[in-house]
Structure 1
């Protein structure tokens, strides 16, 4: 039947013995309920009930029809209740798509605490540096950089990660240290290429509130950040790394961060003519395809991740991954 509401009005009126009572249960006016029953009778070509000012009685056709459709209507209601029960608490499989490096170094570290808090959820972490399609790839949540955001997605900022321009001490001893980002064109750079469209990842900087991208001289290009970090550690050149990779390597002295602002006293001693530039931070967003897709399991992960990663870098929940020599 095209109009389920017509069937629902008939069944409830028959069960409650009154069109007015059926209307109250369904939240509509008695006139609307009566019209729905009349349309149903017209579609079926038969009278289903006799109505007077005092009583309502089913015809023979009405009794036969009620016997057949009432169980179907009850089954539909039970199905709806089952769906609501599932969606009442976070549970079930959750597929999260993320870049390889951010998934490996940050998101994977959140999963033990998240799954301990929500034991009825299971997670599939789909890592790749190709932007996924939520529908065709059956993804619940995607975690994207700002330049990967697409129209139609509902996005929420997860965190802002510092980026560092780094090199090994051995490279700097051999090739010298570039004094400004503009000097990178004279050095061997280790660049990342997007697998999706073949673009090289630009190195953005902020100077005096203005963004710019200095020209680079790529010596080696790769589509994997870990590979670029390994090459930088071996002294092959200068690369750009997110803090979630670079922090432990900088702390160990295995890499050196370039273009660092000097302390206030040193800056004053250097004079006012120096113009410093900061690497543009990496803004990361958590995305869903639409508001209706935000089931309890999805909301649970988003709220958990946002809370765990809030504040300045590094968040308290972040544990640097150890690099092996």
Structure 2
């Protein structure tokens, strides 16, 4: 009978495309992963990978074995992960990725009550504004939006991903009136680069009637951080475009106001996403349900809508 670790090293290497990436996910060295795969190949009497100095490709036997073994491994790992801890609670390390501000302002405040309910779960939360590869990087779940989900990943909607134009009252008082999207070219723009592409996305503005218009601001400055863009807007340096999650505190305090309040950018949804599998580990399942229920009970879906 082959050992679970040898089969897991094979499956993760096939998913990630390299022993090094599989090793990072498994917490092993690349040499250990390679050795486990070689041991599996020797015991099975077949070559599972074609190896070169630059690539790792499945053989025909490897593809067949992955199809047959991958699902069984996921089910077995889920069964192991779902074993209760000594006090009957879901347990284990919960590795989650989320945006810095969104995670700090709306997810981190839930941690105390969550741990009161599930004390055997150990959070390992990563606050970063880029899309992660759940499988290759070993995340249990992630929170984000504005991108296409890769195969094998499912999402649960938390709230709309709407973006709005903001400026300080002082800036607007001192500049030409802004009543229509066609007025934007006469105003300074504080733009934000996409963490995925490094470029400013050419978002179109939309209104309730589904008409569209370009965001034709003069690009006065460009930042990589939406919080920095809001601070620059507070300084009266121009008009910025940020998500409603970033905008809400400034709008509620009156420090910034919406520009063209009938117009917004629809970037889809902010969602909790995780690997598709029949049996989610208990730690992942209770986290997903807890966050979704909090967003529902607190009315955050409505709060983050620009409509």
Q: TM-score, length-normalised on structure 2?
A: 0.65
Contact 2:158 2:301 in 1 (8 A): no
**1:192-219 residue CA offsets vs partner (Å, 9 max, x unmatched):** 1023322213443223224454333221
- Aligned match of 1:52: none
Residue 254 to residue 81, structure 1, CA distance change in 2 (3 Å): closer
Alignment of 1:117-266 (within 5 A): 117-207=117-207, 208-261=209-262
Residue 206 to residue 81, structure 1, CA distance change in 2 (3 Å): closer
Between the two proteins, the alignment pairs up a number of residues equal to 227
Structure 1 gaps, min length 5? 3-78, 262-276, 319-325
Q: What's the secondary structure of 1:94's corresponding residue? A: strand
Distance 1:212 1:99 in 2: 28
> Which of the numbers 266, 271, 286 marks the counterpart of 2:272?
286
Contact 2:89 2:119 in 1 (8 A): no
Residue 115 to residue 161, structure 1, CA distance change in 2 (3 Å): farther
Q: What's the secondary structure of 1:294's corresponding residue? A: coil
Using the TM superposition, name which of 299-308 and 119-128 deviates more: 119-128
- Aligned match of 1:269: none
- Aligned match of 1:115: 115
**1:79-114 residue CA offsets vs partner (Å, 9 max, x unmatched):** 998665248842111011012221122111222222
Q: What's the secondary structure of 1:232's corresponding residue? A: helix
Computing the radius of gyration from Cα coordinates, the structure with the larger value is: 1
RMSD of aligned alpha carbons: 3.0
**1:100-152 residue CA offsets vs partner (Å, 9 max, x unmatched):** 22112211122222222211112122111221111232211011213253333
> Which of the numbers 268, 283, 299 marks the counterpart of 1:297?
283
**1:281-309 residue CA offsets vs partner (Å, 9 max, x unmatched):** 65101111221572111110111111111
Contact 1:129 1:194 in 2 (8 A): no
Contact 2:163 2:265 in 1 (8 A): yes
Using the TM superposition, name which of 86-95 and 295-304 deviates more: 86-95
Using the TM superposition, name which of 208-217 and 117-126 deviates more: 208-217
Structure 2 gaps, min length 5? 3-76
Residue 153 to residue 315, structure 1, CA distance change in 2 (3 Å): closer
Alignment of 1:74-113 (within 5 A): 85-86=83-84, 89-113=89-113
